[in-house]
């Protein structure tokens, strides 16, 4: 019997050809993983993190995370189809994702890079090994995009972004995809050049909004219906009085909002409260841990709202804080979408793991 094992290798350019920059597709993949999470059809151990000090050193020295997960779908195949959420996944994978904060300034390289492995569901041999850097950035945007679809006022007109780098760009793509009524996007970055590059990039991608560079975070927040903070800030700077009534604030970075500001919100939604507590960095967890807000203020996981088990927004005046830590199931769901597209389109290279196992 032939014992050769091959996997499909997808470099980032292959991922792009296979639809890696198609935010509509990424949103479907990420909503699928939220839905299956809400249905309990997943396995996702707490992520191991290598870091060289306390949580704050993630913003200075960096970190290396491993994010294994399994996603099902068979039992909910009909609902996935009804909701146009691609279909079942029924396999496992892992994202290996280092973050090195000095990379952009020192080497003109992205802060984060990632590699994803998807296994064959029968043999558990690798079926696909791919760049995960693009998947990771797109799925983080899409998590906020899905949050915006379920939690923002559907007639929102103005959004604000603080932090105009990789994540700021995908936040913008996805939030606009989630709330089509948005017309204006205000951008603030401490590095004015980054704001300029942001505007160039989002226009190049073809996002249809008026973009306005502002010179303070306060101006990005003031009057915004949807906010996203995606920075490498080391100190909190957000003031609760900046929030408009009815705002949705998606905080994907960690130190922008002080715990006390969470008292301004009607409720908090996370992606997975167990993972948020396990990582111990998100402001929503620090606010609960330090008794600044009661744990009941955390309404639950977005997947529970997507699956209809918990209510989302009930009143257009509610202020809602979405605080995801980032889930391996999102990476797996999006990577699986790209992998399936690549197989269908004949993209990528087959590489052998071995011709014949030595032992």
Ligand X SMILES: NC(=O)c1ccc[n+]([C@@H]2O[C@H](COP(=O)([O-])OP(=O)(O)OC[C@H]3O[C@@H](n4cnc5c(N)ncnc54)[C@H](O)[C@@H]3O)[C@@H](O)[C@H]2O)c1
Q: Contact residues for ligand X (CB under 6 A)?
A: 99, 104, 111-112, 140, 162-168, 188-191, 194, 217, 230-233, 237, 252-253, 324-326
293 near 262, Cβ under 8 Å? yes
- The CB-of-34 to ligand X minimum distance in angstroms stands at 13
Residue showing the smallest CB distance to ligand X in the complex: 326
Min dist CB 5 to ligand X, Å, is 32
Angle, helix 133-151 to helix 328-345, in steps of 10 degrees? 120
Query: Cα angle vertex 277, ends 274, 279, to 5°?
Result: 105
CB nearer to ligand X: pick between 86 and 143: 143
Q: Which of 83, 85, 248 is nearest to 154 (CA)?
A: 248
Cα dihedral 143, 186, 152, 133 in deg (nearest 10): 0
Go through 76-106 and write b for each residue having 16 or more CB atoms within 10 A of its CB, e for each that does not: beeebeeeebbbbbebbbbbebbbbbebbee
Nearer to ligand X among residue 104 and residue 258 (C-beta): 104
Minimum separation from the CB atom of position 19 to ligand X (A): 20
- Report, in Å, the least distance between residue 75 CB and ligand X: 27
Minimum CB distance to ligand X, residue 46 (Å): 15
Identity of the residue, 111 or 244, whose beta carbon is nearer to ligand X in the bound complex:
111
Residue 53: HSE in the Cβ half-sphere, 13 Å Cα cutoff: 7
Give least dist CB 293 to ligand X, A: 19
What pairs with residue 351 in β-bridges? 7
């Amino acid at each position: 019997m032939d014992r050769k094992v091959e996997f499909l290798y997808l470099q980032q350019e292959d991922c792009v050809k296979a639809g890696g920059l198609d935010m509509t597709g990424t949103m479907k993949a990420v909503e699928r993983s939220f839905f299956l999470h809400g249905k309990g059809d997943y396995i996702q151990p707490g992520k191991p993190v290598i870091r060289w000090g306390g949580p704050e050193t993630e913003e200075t020295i960096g970190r290396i995370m491993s994010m294994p997960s399994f996603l099902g779908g068979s039992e909910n195949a009909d609902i996935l189809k009804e909701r146009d959420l691609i279909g079942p996944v029924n396999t496992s994978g892992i994202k290996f994702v280092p973050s090195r904060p000095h990379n952009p300034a020192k080497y003109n390289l992205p802060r984060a890079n990632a590699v994803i492995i998807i296994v064959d569901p029968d043999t558990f041999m690798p079926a696909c090994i791919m760049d995960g850097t693009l998947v990771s950035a797109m799925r983080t945007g899409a998590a906020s995009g899905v949050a915006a679809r379920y939690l923002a006022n559907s007639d929102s007109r103005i959004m604000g972004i603080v932090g105009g780098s990789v994540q700021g760009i995908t936040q913008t793509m996805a939030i606009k995809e989630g709330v089509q009524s948005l017309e204006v996007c205000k951008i603030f970055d401490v590095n004015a050049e980054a704001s300029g590059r942001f505007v160039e990039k989002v226009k190049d991608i073809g996002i249809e909004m008026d973009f306005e560079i502002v010179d303070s975070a306060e101006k990005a927040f003031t009057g915004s219906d949807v906010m996203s903070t995606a920075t490498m800030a080391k100190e909190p700077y957000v003031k609760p009085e900046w929030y408009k009534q009815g705002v949705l604030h998606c905080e994907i970075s960690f130190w922008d909002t002080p715990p006390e500001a969470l008292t301004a919100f009607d409720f908090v939604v996370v992606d997975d409260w167990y993972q948020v507590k396990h990582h111990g960095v998100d402001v929503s967890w620090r606010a609960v841990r330090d008794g600044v807000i009661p744990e009941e203020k955390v309404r639950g996981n977005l997947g529970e709202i997507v699956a209809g088990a918990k209510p989302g927004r009930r009143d257009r005046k509610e202020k809602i804080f979405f605080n995801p830590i980032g889930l391996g199931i999102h990476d797996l769901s999006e990577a699986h979408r790209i992998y399936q597209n690549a197989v269908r389109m004949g993209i990528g290279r087959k590489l052998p793991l071995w011709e014949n196992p030595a032992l």
